[in-house]
Structure formats: C-alpha cells, structure tokens
Structure 1
Amino acid sequence: MTAVSAPSLAVLPVRYQTVRVNDQDVFYREAGSKSSSTILLLHGFPTSSNMFRNLIPRLASSFHVVTPDYPGFGMSSMPDHKNFSYTFENLTNIVEGFVETLGLGKYSMYVMDYGAPIGYRLALRQPDRVQALIVQNGNAYDEGLLKFWDPIKAYWAAPTPENRKALLFLVDQKSTQWQYENGVADKTLLDPTTWVLDQVGLDRPGNSDIQLDLFLSYGTNVPLYPEFQAFFRKYQPPTLIVWGKNDFIFPAEGAAPYRRDLKNLEIHLLDTGHFALETHGEEIAGRIEEFLKKQKL
C-alpha cells in the first residue's frame, strides 16, 4: 500500500456562527487561531461575508480571520427599514458591538466598498485598535466618486420619491451581475453563484427599501472624508491597497490619494473590476501575508 503524504499546510475549518448585537442577529464566519493576529473583513454592496469565502481559509493558517454580515445583508437579521435605521452610522454601531461581543482587542481591517466607510467610522471610534489596513476598492477621497455616482448624488441633493425610484435599477439582477463582470477580461474566472446569491438577498420583500436608504445614507460618509484622512495622518496605520483598476464604481482614481496621508503604504492596481477577489484572490492573499509579515503582525 502506498502511503499518502500529509499536506504541508493544514487547511483550518471555517466556523459559521451568529451572535446577538443591539437586538439583531449578526451572522459571521471565523477561522484561524484566536492567538494569532486578527483580520476583520468588512464586505461591500450588494454582497455579504460570502465575498470572502475563498480568502478566509487561505489566510486562516496565519491569522485569526473574522467577517460579519451587516443587518439587511447575507444571513444576518433583516428588520423592516421602518423599524431599524439603515444608515452607515448605525451599521457601524452594529460592527462596533460585534467587535466588543467577540472581544477583538486589536485587529487589522480589510475594507471594500461599503466596508470602507463602516471600517473608517469604526477606526475613528477605536483608533488605537487598528493595526493595519487592507483596502480593496474602498473610497475615502472625493477623487474616487466619479460618473457612476451622478444619479446617487442627485438623490443626496434632492431625496425625492422620483430620485429614489430612479435608483431601483441598482438592485436588479442585470446590475448585480454587471458589478461582477464589468472590467474583467476573463469572465470564465467568475463564479456565477456569487451574483445569484446576492440577488436572492436583494429580492427579499422590503430589501430594496433597505438598499435605497443606504444609498441615501452614503452621502453622510463624504463629509467625513477629512476625518478619515486625519486618522490616516495621525495614526499612520500600515496600509496595503489591492485595487481592481477597471472598477467603474470605485475607479483607480480613488486609490492614489491615499499617498497624500499615509507613509507606510503599498499600492497594487490589479487588472480586474469591482470584486477583485473573484479573479485575483490568490495574489491578494499572498500580498496580505507578505505585507502583514513585514509589519510583524
């Protein structure tokens, strides 16, 4: 009988759990030893912690990896928007409560899309806990809000029923699939179950109102950009930027301004779109390991 050699690197299990935070059920994925440095992964729109499904086990042998679903997303509670305030401030309240419930003392943050303003708001509250940043298509500068945002900016300026209704196309199946495919050269690398799963979440009764509330609330993040930037300048978190340069939503113009405020910074522009992990997951994982190792984290 031929002996089968053991793999050189153990694949650690991912655990799927739920905790109660501010009267909401918050679903999360967790892997890795709690004695290792923690990475808090914060997802974007219109997805969930599922966007990190391949990254989590890839990093778990080196780090303690944790990622929650926000209320209204994924497997977390979805209270009616009339009973729960779907704002970025309130989602930050949930993530802050989640961090406290799990006892995460210090952590690096991987922020993407909506995860950036949520993570940066959290950093303003807990600046001494943030050990490093990994930024993937997450904006903190005016330069990063270009043509895609024009109809949303119109809604911010005049939140009328007409301007609200005009954004409904952003939660339909065509737009969800487009977010994954736009800017990707080899679409055979994309797993179509990602946008199918996202659309199931968006199609739940009442979810479109949740998303429209958050489109409006995103306008409250822009006035905080100077505060986010002041946090960067004062605390100088080591920052790795891995950005899909073909992203139409958060284009590459949003990556370069980080150089103004951060000294310990690496920027890698990847030849892909909005959901860079779908096509460049292994490269991103390798860069995270290398970068955090250099920071002794």
Structure 2
Amino acid sequence: MAEITHRTVRAAGRQVHLAEAGEGPLVLLLHGFPELSYSWRHQLTGLAEAGFHAVAPDMRGYGRTESPADVAEYTIHHLVGDVVALIGALGAERAVVAGHDWGSQVAWHTALMRPDLVRGVVGMSIPYRPRSGLPPLPAMRRTYGDRFYMLWFQRPGFAERELAKDVPGSLRRLFAGTSGGAPAFEPVVPDGGGFLDLYPPEAGLPGWLTEDDLAVYAEAFTATGFTGGLNWYRNLAANWELTAPFNRARVTVPALYLAGEHDFVVRGLDPGRLDAELRRAVPRLRDTVLLPGCGHWTQQERPGDVTSALAEFARSL
C-alpha cells in the first residue's frame, strides 16, 4: 500500500498542512465541516496506487493549516484562492479537483472561476447550483425559520461553545447522526435546545469510523476549536454578493457528482430531476452517482466506491 506522508507548504501567503501520496497527475481532495485532510485517508492511498499524486490539505480554518482570525477572510474567493495557490505551490499546471460537503462548494467554484487550472471537477454531497437571484439567508429564513442550522451558525462564538463542551461527544453525534441508516432529521434547532439536539444523544460509532479515527478528529478540534470551519458559513451573505459576476454561470469542465442516497442534502429529491438540473448547470457532467445505503460522509462511508470512481474519472481525462 502507498504511504501517506505529511508536509507543510506556503500557499496564498499561509502555511498549509498537506497529506499526500503517490506520483503522477495531481488530484486535489478538499474536505468539509467538521473534517480534516484525514477524511481522505482511503482515497490518498488508492489514488496513489492508481498512478496519481493525491493531495489533501487541511483547509483554511482547520487542523495544522495556518488560519486567519478575521471572519471576513473565509469568503469563497479566499477559499478558491487557496486552491489556486496550492496548485502552483505543488508545481502543477492543472489538477483534478474533488471536494466533499463545503469542499465540494470550493471545488465547483474553483472550476467555475479558474477552468484553465481544472482538468475535471468532482463534487460530493453538495451539487453545483448556479447563483440564485435571492440572497441566501433571507431565503433560508422564509423556508425554515430563524432556527435553521445554517442561520444558527451565524452567531459568532455560539455554536463553537456548544461543540467544544465535549469535543469527542459532539463529533460522535455529528458523524453518527448523518451516516447511512441514521434516522432522518429536520435541520432546525428545536426551541430551547442547541445544534447538537438535532442528533441522537447516545449514538454509537458508525461502522466506517473507529475510535482511533474519532480520536484524530477530536485531538485536532480540541486544539483549534470550531471557529475556523464555522466562519465558512458566516460568509454565505458575502459569497452571494461576491459571486454576482457569475450569476447563472455554468461549470464547463468535465465533471462527476457523487452522493449517498441517504445524505440529508439530497434525501427526498427525485434522482432524475437532480441529474437533469445538474446537467443544465454542468453541461459536461459525466454521471450522477447515488450510493445505496450511504449517508453524508461519502468518501469515508464508501471508500472503495469513491476511490474507484475518482480514479476512473481522472484516467478518462
């Protein structure tokens, strides 16, 4: 099996921690909330064995990557800028860019804003949706009310204090509560409760996550806290303003979309309609793949399926 190594590079003026394996064409793997480069441990080795240079950074605000204190430095322009700078720092001209959850948003927008640098893009969990004509926060408030979890995250210091009271317990509930087979939940914080009340309190570890895996995440978030990751949510309004030049723009590079059929992001959506909407916005979409029995944590719940799909897609380019 290929070996995963770690190093720090300077990109976009900051120190970025990388996990990487293999040699060959570059495949960048971007994680979401609340994750780390560690969430791509299976794909790093699998892609290396398939002949690629697989690189997973700790994203801005996470892990051992240098993180700014100012919430305004977590806009989509900053996050895409980090990816652009990282491609250059790794000595590559272009890359396949794959992302999960918030990392998927960054991957899609890197392909949108800098198609010259992206051989192909893979989004997981979060499909690409062109910029809407309405600001996101008022739209969420009209649909879900003031206690929708993304609105709950807007208050600085509030959600992170709740999550930090018991970091391993918080992560356990988050991972287990949105895995395949977990009960469906309404993403609205109950009256008198907190964000963690969306998830069962006595959740056991899902089969894809070991106690040692959980300890890696818990150690990292105990050291850094959750503010960096939550700051991505706190720029939803700013991102809508900043992406005005890309209103209704399409992603034009070759693309692939993967999600778990039980992922709360797409659960209940008609697969045919999801695929059709994606193809209108991403005209070179190769496929929409919904993984049976899989929940939100796509690349960790179905490591073999995701690695195979990534390798096949990258080879096809």
2:180 maps to 1:180: no
Percent of aligned pairs with the same amino acid: 23
Alpha-carbon distance, 1:260 to partner = 2.3
2:126 maps to 1:108: no
Structure-2 separation of matches of 1:88 and 1:203: 26
Alpha-carbon distance, 1:56 to partner = 0.8
Distance 1:152 1:86, change over 3 A: same
Alpha-carbon distance, 1:118 to partner = 1.9
Alpha-carbon distance, 1:231 to partner = 3.3
Alpha-carbon distance, 1:221 to partner = 4.1
Structure-2 separation of matches of 1:280 and 1:228: 34
2:234 is paired with a residue of what secondary structure?
helix
Cα pair 1:180 1:273 within 8 Å, conserved: no
Cα pair 2:30 2:37 within 8 Å, conserved: yes
Residue identity in the other structure for 2:78: N
Which residue of structure 1 lines up, in the alignment, with residue 232 of structure 2? 214
Distance 1:212 1:287, change over 3 A: closer
Distance 1:100 1:279, change over 3 A: same
Structure-1 separation of matches of 2:255 and 2:284: 9
Cα deviations across residues 51-108 of structure 1 (Å, max 9, x unaligned)? 11111111112222122112321221244x2498233332332222222111221111
Alpha-carbon distance, 1:110 to partner = 0.8
The equivalent position to 1:204 in structure 2, one of 213, 220, 223, is: 223
1:54 is paired with a residue of what secondary structure?
helix
Which residue of structure 2 lines up, in the alignment, with residue 273 of structure 1? 295
Alpha-carbon distance, 1:112 to partner = 0.9
Distance 1:149 1:121, change over 3 A: farther
1:128 is paired with a residue of what secondary structure?
helix
- TM-score normalised by length of structure 2: 0.73
Alpha-carbon distance, 1:46 to partner = 1.1
Matches within 5 A, 1:158-177: 165=158, 169=162, 173-177=168-172
The equivalent position to 1:86 in structure 2, one of 54, 74, 90, is: 74
Distance 1:210 1:229, change over 3 A: same
1:60 is paired with a residue of what secondary structure?
helix
Which residue of structure 1 lines up, in the alignment, with residue 198 of structure 2? none
The equivalent position to 1:128 in structure 2, one of 73, 96, 116, is: 116
Which residue of structure 1 lines up, in the alignment, with residue 55 of structure 2? 66
Cα pair 1:28 1:68 within 8 Å, conserved: yes
Which residue of structure 2 lines up, in the alignment, with residue 284 of structure 1? 306
Structure-1 separation of matches of 2:150 and 2:208: 33
Cα pair 1:110 1:135 within 8 Å, conserved: yes
Alpha-carbon distance, 1:249 to partner = 4.8
Structure-1 separation of matches of 2:313 and 2:226: 38
1:189 is paired with a residue of what secondary structure?
coil
Residue identity in the other structure for 1:154: L
Cα pair 2:60 2:66 within 8 Å, conserved: yes
Residue identity in the other structure for 2:296: H
Cα pair 1:48 1:69 within 8 Å, conserved: yes
Residue identity in the other structure for 1:283: D
Residue identity in the other structure for 1:258: L
Cα pair 1:243 1:276 within 8 Å, conserved: yes
2:106 is paired with a residue of what secondary structure?
helix
Structure-2 separation of matches of 1:194 and 1:149: 34
What 5-or-longer segments of structure 1 have no aligned partner? 1-10
Alpha-carbon distance, 1:266 to partner = 0.8
Distance 1:174 1:110, change over 3 A: same
Residue identity in the other structure for 1:184: G
Structure-1 separation of matches of 2:237 and 2:160: 14
2:256 is paired with a residue of what secondary structure?
strand
